[in-house]
Amino acid sequence: MGMGFRGTVTDAPDFDASADAETLYNAMKGIGSDKEAILDLVTGRSNAQRQEIVQAYKSSYGKDLIDDLKYELTGNFERLIVSLMRPQAYHDAKEIHDAIKGAGTDEKCLIEVLASRNNQQIHDLVEAYTDAYGSDIEEDVTGETSGHFKKMLVVLLQGTRDEPGVVHADLIEEDAQVLFAAGEEQWGTEESIFIMLLGNRSFNHLQMVFDKYQEIAEKSIEDSIKSELSGDFERLMLAVVQCIRSVPMYFAKRLYKSMKGLGTQDNTLIRIMICRSEIDMLDIRECFRMCYEKSLYNMIKEDTSGDYKRTLLALCGGDDDLAGEFFPEAAQLAYKMWETSAMTKVQLRPTIRPASDFDPADDAQNLRKAMKGFGTDEDVIIDIVANRSNEQRQEIRQAFKSILGRDLMKDLKSELSKNLERLIIGLMLTPAEFDAKMMRKAMEGAGTDEHALIEILVTRSNEEIHAMNAAYQDGYKKSMEEAIQSDTSGRFSQILTSLVQGAREQGPADWDRALVDAQELADACNEDSDDMEIKFMSILCTRSFPHLRRVFQEFVRCSNKDIEQIIKKEMSGDVKQAMYGIVRSVKNQPNYIAERLYKAMKCIGTDDRALIRIMVSRSEVDLFNIRKEFKETHDCSLHEFIQGDTSGDYRKTLLMLCGGQD
């Protein structure tokens, strides 16, 4: 990415290995060790200098420095310091060895190391592995893996990728066509073609191939991989593609994932901070700042503690306060992301489809039987309701009344309870009735659920909003607009009022107007916050999504900043959340909804209302896409998350809606 040196750890000037060895010896002498002195010294030297210190230590004291450090230190701090003392190739070798020799294989570690290293690093790793463990890395890896995943790892272990500058101009179009044919055209993906091309062509060449692929397929290579491949092979190929697009961006995402869950994945954190500290840590910090709401420095600070934390922060280098503008390279990345978003035609895929040979009268009778008499047969109810489309469910409601003279909703409410009842009733309502009810629930009672109001209004089409308005009026005898205005205030209320009109423009981007809009937004960033909010609202709440993608793309060029960053930095409270919701939805709606799902489940205590709202409302729209985004962002499938977070018949129904394990 950047020119020149982009690491944070460099050779110390006036270096004296023997003096350093003595400092370390003294720091470990006697009772308790001077950890501060150890970490300052180790992070203040380059890896090459640390190797000289190890040698000097042995010459001076006849002891192994690494053994002494292991003896004196404990926990993550020990792992981090000891790992810093190893030559990089030997550290990589140890990571691979631990990943395959431990209990269960750590595929994520194999993927990260082998997808991101260049040819020289791979060759050094292979050699170091044999030297350290007396066995052949390829044999060890193939012994623990299988299928296409194994084949791609073998290809990567060869370290025979074309060198960075090598571009076969005459093959770009052909490679893109071949990839397209392999994935899209025939039944069954021709995985070997993906393996051959993605494993051997240079990064520069493949970047051009991916651009060409996007033109041909009208979607990104990542989207194809997500819909065509699965399991570890899918994870590996996505990692390879992300590294081809930008290695620092790949590591920024891995670092974020390692810290954002409940427990920190210290292995991953240590591995990346060490291995990139002398290569591209500055670029990683820049990418991190672009994607997330805080600097890498602050995330490490909040997520770790003690000497371990101090060492990691020393490797990280500085704290990128959010004020600065992008480095040109990061601005290009942000621009490219918006461009990709603008060019991609996402094929939305539901998880629930209409049942074939559907008989509403039959279903109505079976539902009645399941609820009649003593006790309820929940299995029958779940089986029918979760396996029909919403239109079919409406026919069942009608048949229930026509044949039995009973109100199915009333019967279900009296037979079911708690979350299962809410979920089944949600599925039985029409989408408009359900949306209206969710809007109502978000506003009634003591507190307002602003997040729910935003999520619903920024993800629904004009038609859906009009239908929701009608259903609200019908069900609650007042307009949704009135309800919003009596329940919210100020600029936030104005934004919701604008969205609830369902008057967003439709249609493709207008390039000339997009340039004007982008410039107006960029100028507004220098106004006072009131004027800025009004200008943002007038554009973000009214323009079509395809148009806004181009506006946000050009905004990067006009301001050298990313729209998301500006919103996070310059706005606050509900207005910030609403603007952010619009931007995220414009950028990648399934990803935005996947984030909302994650937030509903990750805390102690599940937000069941949000979980039900999303699973019900997206099951016939884009829940498949949401699942794929969820897995890529959180390294864990939606299925696993629901499985671990809910129970009983409620869980069973949610998993049926989820539709697959990924």
pLDDT digits (tens, 9 = 90+) for 73-106: 999 999 999 999 999 999 999 999 999 997 788 9
- For residue 219, name the pLDDT band (cuts at 50, 70, 90): confident
Residue pair 196/159 in contact (Cβ under 8 Å)? The answer is: no
Q: Which CATH class name applies to 169-231?
A: mainly alpha
Report pLDDT digits (tens) over 106-125. Answer: 999 999 999 999 999 999 99
Q: Do domains 247-318 and 589-658 have the same CATH topology?
A: yes
Looking at the domain 88-158, which fold is it? Answer: Annexin V; domain 1 (1.10.220)
Whether residue 3 is predicted with pLDDT greater than 60 in this model: the reply is: no
Write the CATH number of the domain with boundaries 589-658.
Answer: 1.10.220.10
Per DSSP, the three-state class of 33 is coil
- For residue 356, name the pLDDT band (cuts at 50, 70, 90): very high
Distance from C-alpha of 97 to C-alpha of 144, rounded to nearest angstrom: 11
Q: Does domain 360-416 have CATH number 1.10.10.10?
A: no
Residue pair 365/403 in contact (Cβ under 8 Å)? The answer is: yes
Q: Does domain 247-318 have CATH number 3.30.1180.20?
A: no
- The residue-averaged pLDDT of 476-500 equals 96
In this predicted structure, what is the pLDDT of residue 324? Answer: 56
Residue written as token pair 């990589």: 92
Report pLDDT digits (tens) over 263-319. Answer: 789 999 999 999 999 999 999 998 998 888 688 999 999 999 999 999 999 999 987
- For residue 323, name the pLDDT band (cuts at 50, 70, 90): very low
In this predicted structure, what is the pLDDT of residue 78? Answer: 96
- The residue-averaged pLDDT of 365-378 equals 91
CATH (one of 1.10.220.10, 3.40.50.10540, 3.40.50.300, 1.20.140.10) for 17-73: 1.10.220.10
Report pLDDT digits (tens) over 122-136. Answer: 999 999 999 999 999
H/E stretch holding 534 reads: helix 529-540
Whether residue 363 is predicted with pLDDT greater than 50 in this model: the reply is: yes
In this predicted structure, what is the pLDDT of residue 188? Answer: 55
**Which of 11-15, 519-523, 536-540, 557-561 is least confident?**
557-561
Nearest to 533 by CA among 486, 487, 582: 582
Whether residue 627 is predicted with pLDDT greater than 50 in this model: the reply is: yes
Whether residue 596 is predicted with pLDDT greater than 50 in this model: the reply is: yes
Of residues 322 and 275, the one with the higher pLDDT is 275
Whether residue 187 is predicted with pLDDT greater than 60 in this model: the reply is: no
Q: What is the mean pLDDT of the chain?
A: 92
Give the domain ranges of the chain.
17-73, 88-158, 169-231, 247-318, 360-416, 431-501, 589-658
In this predicted structure, what is the pLDDT of residue 185? Answer: 60
In this predicted structure, what is the pLDDT of residue 1? Answer: 43
Superfamily of domain 431-501: Annexin (1.10.220.10)
Residue pair 379/648 in contact (Cβ under 8 Å)? The answer is: no
In this predicted structure, what is the pLDDT of residue 5? Answer: 84
Report pLDDT digits (tens) over 530-577. Answer: 999 999 999 999 999 999 999 999 999 999 888 988 898 899 999 999
Whether residue 366 is predicted with pLDDT greater than 50 in this model: the reply is: yes
Distance from C-alpha of 288 to C-alpha of 297, rounded to nearest angstrom: 10
Residue pair 253/238 in contact (Cβ under 8 Å)? The answer is: no
In this predicted structure, what is the pLDDT of residue 474? Answer: 97
Distances (CA, A) of 136 to 88, 98, 119, 156: 18, 14, 18, 15
In this predicted structure, what is the pLDDT of residue 100? Answer: 94
Report pLDDT digits (tens) over 242-254. Answer: 999 999 999 999 9
Query: For the chain, what percent of residues have pLDDT higher than 90?
Result: 80
Residue pair 320/295 in contact (Cβ under 8 Å)? The answer is: yes
In this predicted structure, what is the pLDDT of residue 2? Answer: 44
